[in-house]
Structure 1
Amino acid sequence: MEIPKRLENALIKLYNAFHNDELNPECCSACAVGNILDNHDSWKHLSDKHGSLELSYVGRVHQNLGRKFNGYTPLELLKIEKTFLDACGFKTPLCHYNMKPDNSTDKEMLFNALSEVVALLCSFENIANVMDYSKIFEYEENSPVYKFDAIF
């Protein structure tokens, strides 16, 4: 399967952030979008409310001009961040009195949130979710559809 460059770049950045413990949903430069955008937080001006899908004036201008940031439109970036925050257990848009997880850097929670983000990123590209491993368990007439060389 051919993977578009923007998806490949985003996956590499998210993978590295996750495994280097540099993923933090409460930091605009270390969240999903912050990592995709090379740990810059200027993207936060695309919306007036963190975790909202509503573009700010600045966001609308960039969106209407067709601007992209590391390949993603302002609206796509807001969708990525909202998906990530929601999957982490935050009530969006963020507000100091809204619900948030007890431990926002819990590895299992971050993995599950990244899984949701990867599914979204793949949907942007109109390709199957690269993390969907259900195909390896498909079978026809008691035989696997796909064969793998297993080394044990």
Structure 2
Amino acid sequence: MNTTSKRFDKALKKLYAAFHNKTLNPENCKQCAVGNILDNNDSWQYMTDLHGSKRLNYVGLVHQNLGRRFNGYAPIELLTIEASFLEGCGYRLGKTYCHKPDYYKNQDILFNGLNAVVATLCELDGVKNVMDCSSLFDYELKDDFNLQHA
């Protein structure tokens, strides 16, 4: 049984609401994945110098080294969450650039980003991905594959 943390449950509820209310936007620091997790606050953006970067700047390092948490997440975790959202939405992230794709507001693309974020949230909490449905289709392979071709 997967037991999730309070931070995970709260984050998932906020992201679910944002997705269905069409207020999930990778180009708005208050409406992106982390912006929604942080109650539509954009102060987290000052912890890095580049949109989509997983590298903390001086401000981010100070918060990280002081052990600060924002709705349960450390600064480096927030940057990891946001990078996974952007990558899931089709952004190309580099050390010095962040290239946004066309149609980044398309609901299908936003769902892909949301799916990536949920996988990251699960990984951060050390639980199995709650969006993974592969076990529903799990089946036992037959020893003799050639039987079906006989």
Q: How far apart, in 1, do the equivalents of 2:74 and 2:46 lie?
A: 13
Which position in structure 2 is the counterpart of 1:117?
117
2:40 is aligned to 39
* Contact 2:88–2:115 under 8 Å retained in 1: no
The one-letter code sitting in structure 2 at the alignment partner of 1:16 is A
SS across alignment from 2:99: coil
1:140 and 1:49 map into 2 onto residues whose CA distance is: 47
Shift of 1:99: 3.1
Q: Mean alpha-carbon deviation: is it higher for 10-19 or for 46-55?
A: 46-55
Q: Unaligned stretches of 5+ in structure 2?
A: 143-150
Give structure 1 regions of 4+ aligned residues with deviation exceeding 3 angstroms: 139-142
Q: Kindly report which structure 2 residues correspond to 1:10-21, keeping only aligned pairs within 5 A, or say none.
A: 10-21=11-22
Identity %: 55
> What's the offset of the Cα at 1:70?
0.3
Structure 1 alignment gaps of length 5 or more: 143-152
Q: 2:62 — aligned with what?
A: 61
Pairing of 1:98-137 with structure 2 (within 5 A): 99-137=99-137
**Displacement of 1:94 after TM fit?**
9.3
TM-score normalised over the length of structure 2: 0.87
Q: Secondary structure at the match of 1:78?
A: helix
Letter in 1 for 2:59: V
RMSD: 1.9
Structure 1 CA distance, aligned partners of 2:108 and 2:76?
Answer: 27
User: Aligned letter for 1:42?
Assistant: S
Looking at structure 2, the residues matched to 93 and 28 of structure 1 have their Cα atoms a distance apart, in angstroms, of: 19
Q: Which residue of 1 aligns with 2:78?
A: 77
Query: 1-side partners of 2:18 and 2:85: how far apart?
Result: 14
Q: Which has the higher contact order (CA 8 A, sep 6+)?
A: 2
Give the Å deviation of 1:93: 5.2
